Amino acid sequence: MKLLNQTIDFEALDNPAVTSYAARVNAGELLTFCAAARKAKRPLVALWGSDERDRGEGFGFALHTALDLSEGLVCLTLPLAAENPSFPDLAPIYPVANRMQRAVMDTIGAMPEGDADRRPWLRHANWPADFWPLRNDAKDAQFEAQNEDYAFVRVEGDGVHEIAVGPIHAGIIEPGHFRFSVTGESVLRLEQRLGWTHKGIERRFKGMGLSDGARLAGRVSGDSTVAYAWAYAQAAEAIGAVTPPPRALWLRALLLERERIINHLGDLGYLGNDVALAFGLMQFMRLKEDWVRENARLFGHRFMMDRIVPGGVSVDIDEDGKRAIAAQCDVLEGELHALKDIYDDHAGLQDRFLTTGRITPQLAETLGVIGLAGRASGQCWDLRCNHPCAPYDQLQPHMQLEHNGDVAARALVRFGEVKASLDLVRKILREMPDGDIRSEVRSDANKRGFGWIEGWRGDIFVALETGSDGKIRRCHCHDPSWQIWPALEHAIIDNIVPDFPLINKSFNLSYAGPDL
Amino acid sequence: MFPMLRQIFRTGIVSEPAPDADETLRATTQRLSEVMLRQLGRALVIRQIDAGSCNACEQEIHALSNPYYNLEALGIKFTASPRHADLLLVTGPVAKNMEIALKRAYDATPEPKLVVAVGDCGCTGGIFGESYACCGRIANVIPVDVSIPGCPPTPLQLMQGILAAIVPEAMQEEKV
Ligand code: SF4
């Protein structure tokens, strides 16, 4: 089948939860297809590499590019040479590809060509430059940690100075490094250096069984454990050729919307706190705790870890549980209404929120911003609406959009989404079908599956592949923060340094997710 | 202003009593003298360090400050600088990329200092283990006084562990 009027012949994959197409391409075709997709305003979903040399004579490495087309998910695979592998630089087409390419470089040793940025990304001088952890012949090894001298871009001129922040941040936050170039109070440039929490997750996946892999996928980014577990389960189910029972899918949606609500509540609280409204923090943290406790009571874990498993879910809900959740929705809706009025009417808060950290819709489109941050800048990306998997095809959620792209817009999208998710939860409780909650998934050798789920930050993507023993050969988990982090570098320009914590919080991106 | 006051009034005080220290979480014998601990009481300043966690442990540490657990009411608070800290609360397996930063933060913390390792990852390396990118448990990198297992540990378990770090064994019976 042909897509975007290009010559490439795509194969439709048997991947029930995610309509997907795949093709092997050469470098020219990859560039042309990506350019056509970009022109059609379709985003890059993920980019990753793999070692294929064990497949036999003539095999080298491979670069995989996943794109979001209106038809579904498209995966282009470019075979790379076994010796000195390299691939064309996609960053001129998709700027967000920059860091992903550098991660490919660090993990399998394939280089982006031409003028591409070839500074290391995940490797911080703590293992040798010729140790590539995702190559099949890389030995298990530990190396001496070294201080890294990273080539930050320098801004020069009268009165310009640098402020270095991190990796350990001032608050209770994940580690990262921010290098600000400032004059006086205003920021000329921010450069991020991430990868500090890189734990070698992708290498860890290798050789795991499908169910062990599910636990690991649920711990890539703990605040999005439900979304990761669901995306991983979709991929595992494609491999095992299993469709979970309908009730399991509705329960998954229930857990996912609860995760979204819980995280948005926390963020709304911290946004208040960052403008010195501790009242907001305490109120929203209280509401968040109420929901987290109910998770523990009904589903046995405060964050619902390991509750979504390949084949279905491990928890069910009875009529009492449904009633409790319905009552909880009503309470939260009332509280949310009262607190939103307070936020709306608070002059000090609005003064700090409005026009701060702006990403205009045009800039968002150029940068390729997706997810919640994209929606706050008028970008219509929400998998639940654009490529709904069951039960979202029946739930038909309403996409929450704002156009100002400032801190206020990102707060408004969160308010809107909590409200929308409450409605979804109620609908799920009303319409959830009866029946089984789990089917058995047996792994199959040499299979590939994709999973793609709209977490609270944006779309989480999982590409899973089994080897000839049915164990995991390659698992790539992709966090939407990859695509949104670069936008933060733009959002801070011309803002004052003291507004950075607020702007950063309004995005609240993951470090652990993309660091892997 | 009135809606805010009304909301505060309507919410009331939701804080719950603190749990007791859990001595079983202690990894070493109490290193601080009893005299010093009595001096300290529970006025404790914590520097939290994420050395490579998945961020769920951080979510639970955040929860300690919510009105239900209200850690600050016990005299325990979080600080931004290790130089002001009595105790380092460290999560995660130690990512190789964080090893030097963690050691530096430890060195920057004035003596006498306590270290509490948080979560299965902090206690054993957890699901991530040891590898080219991961040093495993916190104790592989800096000395640890108390280990709080769990994935992630609940706020109550975190409080029990933190209290265990600062309560002399002899004071256990008196109930904190
Ligand atoms: S113990 Fe569990 S929750 Fe904590 S960092 Fe490790 S995986 Fe995440």
Task: Flag whether pLDDT at B122 surpasses 90.
Answer: yes
CATH for B153? 3.40.50.12280
Tens digits of residue pLDDT in A93-112: 999 999 999 999 999 999 99
Tens digits of residue pLDDT in A112-126: 999 999 999 999 989
Residue of A170, A200, A215 with shortest CB distance to B132: A200
Is A303 within 8 Å of B56 when comparing Cβ atoms?
yes
Interchain contact A203–B (C-beta under 8 A): yes
Give SS3 for A441: coil
Domain presence at residue B71 = yes
B94 Cα to the center of ligand 1, angstroms: 12
Note the Cα A405 to chain centre separation in Å. Answer: 19
Between A and B, how many residue pairs show a Cβ–Cβ distance under 8 A?
Answer: 166
Domain presence at residue B171 = yes
- Window 269-308 of A, Cβ < 8 Å to B: 279, 282-283, 285-286, 288-289, 292, 296, 302-303, 305
Question: Which residue did the predictor score with more confidence, B169 or A274?
Answer: A274
Tens digits of residue pLDDT in A467-510: 999 999 999 999 999 999 999 999 999 999 999 999 999 999 99
Task: Flag whether pLDDT at B38 surpasses 80.
Answer: no
Residue of B7, B55, B63 with shortest CB distance to A342: B7
Q: What mean pLDDT is predicted for residues B130-144?
A: 95
- Residue B36: what pLDDT? 64
A53-62, A202-211, A392-401, B72-81: least confident range: B72-81
Report CA-CA distances (Å) from A93 to A44, A67, A116, A178, A192.
Answer: 10, 13, 12, 26, 21
- Residue A170: what pLDDT? 85
How much is the pTM?
Answer: 0.95
**Contact present, A250 and A258 (Cβ < 8 Å):** no
Task: Flag whether pLDDT at B160 surpasses 80.
Answer: yes
Question: A255: phi > 0 → left, psi -120 to 50 → alpha, else beta; which?
Answer: alpha
B124 Cα to the center of ligand 1, angstroms: 11
- Residue B1: what pLDDT? 78
Non-local CB neighbours of B35 within 8 Å, separated by 6+ positions = none
Give SS3 for A179: strand
Closest CA to A264 of A376, A413, A366, A126: A413
Task: Please report the DSSP string for A384-396 in residue order.
Answer: HHHSPPTTHHHH-
Instruction: Give A129 to chain B, closest Cα distance, Å.
Output: 12
Question: Which residue did the predictor score with more confidence, A170 or A175?
Answer: A175
User: Does ligand 1 lie within 6 Å of residue B92's CB atom?
Assistant: yes
Q: How far apart, in Å, do the first and last CA atoms of chain A sit?
A: 34
User: Does ligand 1 lie within 6 Å of residue B53's CB atom?
Assistant: yes
User: Does ligand 1 lie within 6 Å of residue B147's CB atom?
Assistant: no
pLDDT band of residue B166 (cuts 50, 70, 90) is: confident
- Residue B173: what pLDDT? 46
Q: What percent of chain A has pLDDT over 90?
A: 90
Q: CB-based burial of residue A111 (10 Å sphere; 0-12 exposed, 13-18 middle, 19+ buried)?
A: middle
Six token digits for residue A70: 């209106």
Residue recorded with tokens 């089984």: A436
Task: Flag whether pLDDT at B174 surpasses 60.
Answer: no
pLDDT band of residue A353 (cuts 50, 70, 90) is: very high
Query: Ligand 1: which atom is nearest the Cα of residue B152?
Result: 3
Tens digits of residue pLDDT in A224-264: 999 999 999 999 999 999 999 999 999 999 999 999 999 99
Report CA-CA distances (Å) from A308 to A4, A244, A384.
Answer: 35, 11, 18
Is A341 within 8 Å of B14 when comparing Cβ atoms?
no
Q: In angstroms, rounded to a whole number, what is the distance separating the alpha carbons of residues A177 and A435?
A: 49
Q: In angstroms, rounded to a whole number, what is the distance separating the alpha carbons of residues A168 and B24?
A: 30
Q: Of B5, B45, B96, which to mutate for an interface test with A (greatest number of A Cβ within 10 Å)?
A: B96
Minimal-distance CA residue to ligand 1 atom 2: B151
Q: In angstroms, rounded to a whole number, what is the distance separating the alpha carbons of residues B40 and B62?
A: 24
Is B66 within 8 Å of A174 when comparing Cβ atoms?
no
Non-local CB neighbours of A146 within 8 Å, separated by 6+ positions = A125, A126
Tens digits of residue pLDDT in A14-67: 888 999 999 999 999 999 999 999 999 999 999 999 999 999 888 999 999 999
Task: Please report the DSSP string for A269-291 in residue order.
Answer: HHHHHTTT-HHHHHHHHHHHHHH
DSSP state of B152: S
Q: What mean pLDDT is predicted for residues B61-74?
A: 91
- Residue B73: what pLDDT? 85
Note the Cα A19 to chain centre separation in Å. Answer: 19
Q: Please tell me the CATH code under which domain A2-112 is placed.
A: 3.30.460.80
Non-local CB neighbours of A232 within 8 Å, separated by 6+ positions = A213, A214, A217, A218, A310, A451, A462, A464, A475, A477
Mean pLDDT across chain A? 94
Residue recorded with tokens 């002059």: A347
Q: In angstroms, rounded to a whole number, what is the distance separating the alpha carbons of residues A313 and A294?
A: 18
The neighbouring-strand residues paired with A49 are: A63
Minimal-distance CA residue to ligand 1 atom 8: B54
Q: In angstroms, rounded to a whole number, what is the distance separating the alpha carbons of residues A247 and A43?
A: 32
Cα nearest neighbour of B52 on chain A: A197
- Window 110-149 of A, Cβ < 8 Å to B: 124, 126-127, 131, 133, 138, 140-143, 145, 147
- Residue B20: what pLDDT? 84
Note the Cα B27 to chain centre separation in Å. Answer: 14
Non-local CB neighbours of A67 within 8 Å, separated by 6+ positions = A33, A34, A37, A42, A43, A44, A45, A73, A74, A75, A76
Task: Flag whether pLDDT at B176 surpasses 60.
Answer: no
- Residue B40: what pLDDT? 67
Is B127 within 8 Å of A147 when comparing Cβ atoms?
no
**Contact present, B166 and B44 (Cβ < 8 Å):** yes
User: Does ligand 1 lie within 6 Å of residue A207's CB atom?
Assistant: no
Q: In angstroms, rounded to a whole number, what is the distance separating the alpha carbons of residues A55 and A465?
A: 13
Domain presence at residue B3 = no
Contact list, A145 vs chain B (CB under 8 Å): 96, 99-100
Cβ density class A338-361: b for 16+ within 10 Å, e for less: ebbebbeebeebeebbeebbbbeb
**Contact present, A236 and A213 (Cβ < 8 Å):** yes
pLDDT band of residue B30 (cuts 50, 70, 90) is: low
**Contact present, B88 and B122 (Cβ < 8 Å):** no
Task: Flag whether pLDDT at B43 surpasses 90.
Answer: no
Angle at Cα A404 formed by Cα A403 and Cα A409, nearest 5°?
A: 90
- Residue A365: what pLDDT? 93
User: Does ligand 1 lie within 6 Å of residue A222's CB atom?
Assistant: yes
Is A197 within 8 Å of B57 when comparing Cβ atoms?
no
- Residue B31: what pLDDT? 63
Tens digits of residue pLDDT in A187-227: 999 999 999 999 999 999 999 999 999 999 999 999 999 99
Residue of A127, A292, A342 with shortest CB distance to B4: A342
Task: Flag whether pLDDT at B81 surpasses 80.
Answer: yes
Closest CA to B162 of B142, B143, B145, B140: B145
Closest CA to B144 of B65, B73, B80, B89: B89
- Residue A4: what pLDDT? 85
Interchain contact A198–B (C-beta under 8 A): yes
The number of distinct structural domains making up chain B is 1
Instruction: Give A164 to chain B, closest Cα distance, Å.
Output: 14
Range of the domain at B109: 39-175
Task: Flag whether pLDDT at B60 surpasses 70.
Answer: yes
DSSP state of A93: T
Domain presence at residue B8 = no
- Residue B18: what pLDDT? 85
Backbone angles phi, psi at A446, to 5 degrees: 50, 50
**Contact present, A140 and A120 (Cβ < 8 Å):** no
- Residue B169: what pLDDT? 55
Domain presence at residue B78 = yes
* Beta-carbon count within 10 A of A264 CB: 25
The alpha carbon torsion through A196, A208, B130, B106 (nearest 10 deg) reads: 40
Is A222 within 8 Å of B48 when comparing Cβ atoms?
no
Which element (helix H / strand E) includes A223? none
Cα nearest neighbour of B51 on chain A: A197
**Contact present, A222 and B59 (Cβ < 8 Å):** yes
